[in-house]
Amino acid sequence: MKALSEIPRRSALALLAFAALAGPTAAWAATVQFSGYTWEVRQGGGGPGPNNWDARNVWVDAEGALHLRVSRLDGQWACAEVTMTQALGFGTYQWQLQGRPDQMDRNLVLGLFNYTTPDIGPDGTNEIDIEFARWGNASWPNGNWTIYPAVQGPKPLSTSFEVALTSDLSTHRFTWASDSIRYASLYGLHDIGDNSGLFRKKTFAPAKAQRRIPQNALPVHMNLWLFKGQAPSDGQPEEIVIRSFKFVPL
């Protein structure tokens, strides 16, 4: 990984925020069934943040939608995270959201991503992110797409942009191949292959792609958390609903 001084400020903060994703006191208290997959629900302490993680902030409703919540529980702020129990490889990953991640407090982060495991590489490698976050600064753009390299050394690939949704329904996806990753965000709910409502897209196709783009199957994570463990500046809880997750292999 490059020294933080070599990385633009927003990217450097994102790197710090994601350090030690599952801290030493983290545990996995339960599982939920969502979109045809089994997901472990995080319980305990640890990064990113660091934060408190509480399984009471995660549930699947009667319509099969997954709820992630940041709230005060037992006198302290607690966050939510789930991790798929299997690893997925090259293909299209899609999330349909209900909520307004574009209007979240500056200290809130919503992450939709796959993430390394110890047998594949250390933190700061092998990660593909869709994030909504202002990283504590209300003037920073709230859309973030980041790709952490397959090996240590290369700088992450990333772009940030302002998201202003037109309703509480939106779709976000990336298509991961061995030599490229294509991102897209759309207004409203759309299935894979339907690009109506597209408002942002970007393709990363770097030289030396096998070093810059993850090459191994990875588990999917979804989390809602507090940047640097700071309480929401508005003092309010936050909830985002994942209507569906879908994966189509290449």
**pLDDT tens per residue across span 62-106:** 999 999 999 999 999 999 999 999 999 999 999 999 999 999 999
**pLDDT, position 28:** 59
Average predicted confidence (pLDDT) for the chain: 91
DSSP state of 22: S
Three-class secondary structure of residue 197 per DSSP: coil
Give the percent of the chain with pLDDT over 70. Answer: 88
Count other C-beta atoms under 10 Å from residue 155's C-beta.
Answer: 14
Three-class secondary structure of residue 50 per DSSP: coil
28 and 43 in contact (C-beta within 8 Å)? Answer: yes
Please give the average per-residue pLDDT across 232-247, as a whole number.
98
**pLDDT, position 66:** 98
126 and 150 in contact (C-beta within 8 Å)? Answer: yes
The set of residues, in sequence order, having a beta carbon less than 8 Å from that of 224 and lying 6+ positions away, is: 57, 68, 69, 70, 79, 80, 81, 108, 109, 110, 111, 238, 239, 240
Rg over CA atoms, the chain: 17
Say whether pLDDT at 52 is over 80: yes
**pLDDT, position 1:** 26
Residues 114-161: pLDDT tens digits? 999 999 999 999 999 999 999 999 999 999 999 999 999 999 999 999
Which two three-digit tokens encode residue 246?
Answer: 């879908």
CA dihedral 12, 18, 210, 130 (to 10 degrees): -90
How many Å apart are CA 72 and CA 76, to the nearest integer? 5
H runs (alpha helix) in the chain: 9-18, 209-212
**pLDDT, position 3:** 28
Residues 13-31: pLDDT tens digits? 333 333 333 333 445 569 9
**207: burial class by Cβ within 10 Å (0-12, 13-18, 19+)?**
exposed
Residues 149-199: pLDDT tens digits? 999 999 999 999 999 999 999 999 999 999 999 999 999 999 999 999 999
> For the chain, percent helix, then strand, then coil, each to nearest 5?
10, 50, 40
Say whether pLDDT at 42 is over 80: yes
**pLDDT, position 20:** 34
User: Which domains, ranges and CATH numbers included, belong to the chain?
Assistant: 4-249 (2.60.120.200)
